[in-house]
Amino acid sequence: MPKLSIITINYNNLEGLKKTFESVFMQTYQDFEYIVIDGGSTDGSKEYIAENADKINYWVSEKDHGIYNAMNKGIKIANSEFVIFLNSGDTFFDETIVNRLLNVDNTYDIVYGNHNLLKIDNSEYVKQFPDLITISYLLIDTVPHLGTRIRKSLFDDNFYDESLNISSDWTWYFDALINKVSFYHCNFVTVNFRLDGVSSINHNLGMEERVIHLQRKHPEYVLILSKYLEKEAEVISLKKQINKIYSSRWIRLLKKFNLTKI
């Protein structure tokens, strides 16, 4: 049995899939099981996967019921001690990442690193995650999902909630923390993560789904999160007011010197 399964999900993202495959195939540690779940792509992804079938342990291209349904498919196929998700378009930071993650003490259930975030304007910055994951931190932020080593047995009868569209990995982590699952932070960058996915661009829906999950399973935390969201909305409103004042002052200054037509 391999120690690790890497799971890639894809749907009509051929160019992103090519980058992900290259990243996986160039890892210095190659003794892993590679699983690719494609949602019935029509952009050439299926054919590209078939071309690389000799490097893939299992792949399928068929219609699914969303991101988490695809991930659950991969988990059910995986035959290893740990799993790592790396979705199409995202890449390991360098060729040593799998080896470094597997060298972390096996007693830890969830091993995560930092992310190099690639913005839509092609700028990038590193997001540093905390060493200690607490309830207060997780209520307002998250643990990285991609490039994180997760003990596969944690998914036994506890798959991602497919009724949620973008926050099921967060709800799964929250439940894991409540259940005293062990987390360990590796202070190095594991993944290049593009900020153009569904969860990255739909913050409000993500928070709504968090509230729904807490109402179902952890109602004692709902009020705390609701208060935080109220404060967050106030801060956003204040920033807009500040920007409006700042912009209007610039406009007045430009008009004063007759520069508005330049």
Check if the beta carbon of residue 37 is closer than 8 Å to that of residue 48: no
| Helix 168-178 with 67-77: angle, nearest 10 deg | 60
150, 109 Cβ separation under 8 angstroms: yes
Phi/psi at 178 (nearest 5 deg)? -60, -35
State the Cα–Cα distance between residues 183 and 193, nearest whole angstrom. Answer: 21
Output the pLDDT for position 205.
85
CA distances from 232 to 215, 238, 239 (A): 20, 10, 11
Give the span between the Cα atoms of 35 and 73, in whole angstroms: 10
User: What mean pLDDT do residues 101-109 have?
Assistant: 96
- What are the Cα distances from residue 163, in Å, to 66, 209, 212? 9, 10, 11
Assign 3-state DSSP to the chain and report helix, strand, coil percentages, each to 5.
Answer: 45, 20, 35
Averaged pLDDT for residues 175-181:
95
Beta bridge partners of 34: 6
Express each pLDDT in 2-39 by its tens digit: 699 999 999 999 999 999 999 999 999 999 999 999 99
| Average pLDDT along the chain | 88
110 has a pLDDT exceeding 60: yes
CB 125 within 8 A of CB 192: no
DSSP category for residue 130: P
Does 230 score more than 80 pLDDT?
Answer: no
Sign of CA dihedral 240, 245, 249, 255: positive
> CA-to-CA distance for 86 and 108, rounded, in angstroms?
20
pTM: 0.84
DSSP calls for 231-242: HHHHHHHHHHHH
Asked if residue 239 has pLDDT above 90, the reply is no
Q: Tell me the two tokens of residue 204.
A: 């409000």
Residue 199 pLDDT > 60: no
